[in-house]
Structure formats: structure tokens, C-alpha cells
Chains A and B, each alone.
Chain A
């Protein structure tokens, strides 16, 4: 297969995942943190799709190819559905907090210690 090699997709996925992970740790706004988590999920999706598209790459054991081909694509569909459900619940929680406190800064969320 000519064109963009598998390793380029994997590297992009790893970089997106790392950016997302750093964002979760460094950012203070829950909405930004949540966007970073979405970035990490999409990095996983990209990795799934790359492996699925390059299913005849040498990285392979003994699994039949048609299984591999569909497995990765179905994974992405499921992950998108799960991510959508998470967005619904997550934004609901953030909304509820904003209504009560007029702020959503994560540093304000320190009512419990010990």
C-alpha cells in the first residue's frame, strides 16, 4: 500500500493522546478538560481506524483478516456512541454546578479535604 504509512497515523494518534492527557492535567476549566478527554478518545479512534485500514500490515498474529477489518471499524462506531452519552451527562453535571456556584473553575472544587 502506497501513500501515508501506518506509523504516521500511529504517531499522530499518540501525539493527540499526549496533548489530551497534558491538557487534562494542566487545565483548570472542566469544559476544556472535557474537550481534552474527547481528544484522547479520538486519538484512540484514529488508532483503531489506522490498524483496521492497514489490516494486512505485518503487525499480525493469526486472526483472520475479515475479522480484523470489521472489528476496528465497529469499535469506532461504539466509541462515538459512548462519547456522545458521556458528553450529555458531563455537560449536565457542569451546568448544574454553574447554576449553583456561578463558576466552574476546578480550583473552587475543594470543599472536601483530608
Chain B
């Protein structure tokens, strides 16, 4: 052993700071849970907020530190083709996504307590589970090793299976938990078998192995068929997790049945983490074959269209948002496809900024929307049909107003981050000569306005006999959560240039928002 000159890479503890911060906060929250006063989670919520803020600051403290991979074997000196097989990567994409996940978790924690209290789910365990789930998502975004990615995904998912079934007296919450669990585990096994095949073809679970094998052009057909099967299975696993059609069947049921605060976190956090990991995966697989881009473009087209068309027929607000999240997965996939195509084809290279920006905007608009929808949770009951929201604007004017902002952003109406995000995806798709995909994106975002308007209409409908006590009172946490999400969406549009500069994920030399109408 060690004949090839194995150099253990230095451990970069500072880069791990945010992850350790989130995990430790979860542990402290769980210990506090044993001491808390009965039915009162305020202390736990306080600790979580402080811990998440500290973790966020740690991400920013890392911002300008030199990146690189650590926690693994570094073969760069001995074997240049292989390079560094570190298990953890400290780069800007990882930092942006970590910050995003910490932010999403913070907003979730802010509006959860009021909802859980109204729904009579006074479980202190909720908070550690959310935090550990977030930690799993952060691991997914900061590794280039498929095995570590798998561990992060399972940490994220297993905590979410429990959270989905949190409302243990509600039939549909149990049903949601079972469906989510069975399909999630099914997806994991596809992913894992795919990783095993990629390992077989390349000799490592690290993504550098795929890049190395694509560059060195080995002699064997067997290697490549095993590699392609592996990549295909991993993509199926990804498709399940981010809910791409035809692997989306679990999404509407799980979103409808699971507690609303959990759904908000699930919709935002899981997609952010999984798409970040997918971006790293796309980075290397585009060099093995051009077929992946074609397949993913087709999946994106089907996902957008089917998601939007089925959403039109729904009568339940949470279900509509579930199909909307499927459609949004399609939009983000267009951005991912454009990024991949620009890397492998004869085009100007696109940065990862479009995907990161859209994920940020998508995360906060979805989370904000679910925060407002959680207001129907009252006296241990909760309705989520459109009729259940009639008159919301009277009993909760501020959240209802913010809800209109979130819906406008989801639909892609100007002055919101959702619009700019869709515009950038459209432009990216055009720049890699995928006119048809760009047009389909445009048509779909017009279709989507119809069902977003229906929810807005329900929220703003006044019914003569409306009982105001149907809605939970608006507490400070929910108020702050709505305000923060709406502020970020509008700031993301108004201050897009400084934001993109700060993220630093754009392709070198590219002007990200130049030529935008009205700027």
C-alpha cells in the first residue's frame, strides 16, 4: 500500500464549520427537548435560530478562503489524471447552496412553531429533525464523492420520512409518510445500484473517476456499458428525488398529506440540495456522451408540461403547489441542461449562476407560499382545499398580501425574482441553441398563471358566512417569515447585479443581467 505516493490531504476544519454548526444545534435542541416546559418549544426555537445564524455567518466567513477538496486521498502529484479524491469540497457553489439551505431552514423554523401549536403537534423533536435534514442537504451540496452524496441524501430523506408522518393522528399524514418512505427508499436503491456500477467502471465512487475515464478513452466496451448503465440509474434516482415526470407520482400525495411546515421545507430544501448535487454530476457526465443532455432536455420538457397541465385540474391548494413544484423542477432542469450543453458543446460557457439564482428564488417563494397556507391549521385540524382559504385576506391581510407576491414570483411576473430567474433560464437555453425548450418554457409559464391566479382568487374571495376563527392568528414568526421571503424575492430582482457579483458563480467575463428589459 502507498506505493503510488498517497498524500493524505490536509483537513480544512474551518470549511466544515457550517455543517458542524447545524448538526450541533440539532443535538443541543434535542437535549433541550428533554428539559423544556410542557408543550412549550420556545427555548428550542431560540436555540435553533441562534445556531442557524451562527452557521450562516460561518459560511460567509469561508467565502473568500481558498477552496479545494479535503478529507481524502490526494493523488494529484502521483497521478495527474486522477487528481484529488477528497470527500468534501469547499467551493463557491457549495457555499452558496449551504447558505441557501441554512436560510431555508431558518425561515422554516420561524413559522413552524405557531403552526405546530395550532395543529396540536407539540413535538420538540421536530426541530432537531429539520436541522439534521438540512445538514444532510448541506453534505449533498459539498461533496464530489457519490458515496458521501448518498449518505447526505439518506440523512436528508430519513429525517423527512419521520417529519412527513409527524401528524400521527391524521390518516393522510400517515399515508403521506408511507408513500414518501417507500418511493424514497425505492429511489435510493436505484441511485445506489447506479453508484455501484459507476464504481465498477471507474474504480472509485468519486466523480473525478468519471472525468478521468472520459479523458483517457479506455479500450474496453464493457467499461463504457457499465458506466452508462450506472449514470442512467443515478439519473433515475435524481429524477425521483427532485420529482421529474414520470417519477413524480409520490409528490402530490406527500405534499397534500404531510404537515404544511414540513412540506415547505421539503419542497425548498430537497430540491436545492438535489439540484446542486445534480449540477456537479452533470459537470462530469457531459464528457462521456452527448446523449445525457438530450435525455435530460426531453425530461425537462415533459416535466414542465405535465406538471402544469395537471395543476390546472386540481382543487386542493397544497396539491396545486405540488404540481407547481414539479413544473419548477422542469424549469430548473432546463437551466441545468443548458449549463451541461454549454460545457460540452461549441458554445460560450455558461456559469452555474442561473441555477443557483433560480434555486434561491424558488426556495423562498415556495417556502413563503407554504408558510401562508399553513394558516388554515387551527385547533388540531387543517383544510387545504381552495374553499378553505376564502376570506384569508380579511383575517390575515399581511400574509395574504405577501402570498400575492409569492404567487406572482412563481408565475414569473416582473419585479420578482421568479421572473428574472425564468428570463435567465430562457436566455441560457437560447444560447445553447435549444429554441424549442426555451419556447416550451415560455408557454408553460403562461399556462401556470391560470392556476396561481385561482389560489390568489381563493385567498381574496369574500364569502358572506365566513368564520374568521377558521384561521390561526398571525404570530411574529410567521410575519417575519413572510416578510423575509418577500423581501428576498424583490431584492433578488432589484439588486440582481450585486447579487450575481457576490455569488461569483457566473462564467468569467459574462455579463449576467446585461440587456435585460428595463435595466
Q: Measuring CB to CB, which residues of chain A are less than 8 angstroms from any residue of chain B?
A: 10, 13, 17, 20, 24, 30, 33-34, 37, 40-41, 43-45, 47-48, 50-51, 55, 58-68, 71-72, 74-75, 78-79, 82, 85-86, 89-90, 92-94, 96-97, 100-101, 109, 111-112, 114
Contact = CB atoms under 8 A, between A and B. Distances in A.
A63 B182 contact: no
A34 B204 CA distance: 29
B151 A78 contact: yes
7 contacts: A43-B193, A51-B196, A61-B218, A62-B216, A63-B85, A67-B203, A101-B171
B411 interface: no
B347 interface: no
Given A62-B81, A64-B82, A89 B223 contact: no
A26 to B, nearest CB: 13
Interface string B191-226: 011011101111111000100110010101011001
B172 interface: yes
Nearest to B185: A37
The majority secondary structure among interface residues of chain B is: helix
Contact of A59 (B147, B192, B196, B226): B226
A77 to B, nearest CB: 10
Interface of B: 1-4, 6, 73, 75, 78-79, 81-82, 85, 147, 150-151, 154, 158, 161-162, 165, 168-169, 171-172, 174-179, 181-182, 185-186, 188-190, 192-193, 195-197, 199-205, 209, 212-213, 216, 218, 220, 222-223, 226, 252-253, 256-257, 313-316, 319
B372 to A, nearest CB: 21
A74 B213 CA distance: 22
A93 B204 contact: no
A63 B84 CA distance: 11
Interface centre among B177, B203, B216 (most CB of A within 10 A): B203
Given A30-B182, A64-B4, A86 B171 contact: no
Contacts of A112: 172, 175-176, 252-253, 256-257, 319
A22 B15 CA distance: 43
A66 B203 contact: no
Contact of B193 (A44, A78, A97): A44
A44 to B, nearest CB: 4
A43 B188 CA distance: 13
Contacts of B147: 71, 74-75, 78
A44 B189 contact: yes
Nearest to B192: A44
Given A43-B193, A78-B151, A61 B203 contact: yes
Contact of A63 (B181, B189, B209, B257): B209
B205 A96 contact: no
A74 B315 CA distance: 48
A70 to B, nearest CB: 9
Of the listed residues B79, B186, B226, the one surrounded by the most CB atoms of chain A closer than 10 A to its CB is B186
Contacts of A44: 189, 192-193, 195-196
Contacts of B253: 112
Given A60-B203, A100-B171, A90 B252 contact: no
A97 B78 CA distance: 56
A3 B85 CA distance: 33
Given A63-B202, A64-B78, A68-B204, A47 B174 contact: no
A24 B75 CA distance: 41
A67 B178 contact: no
A89 B161 contact: yes
B201 A59 contact: yes
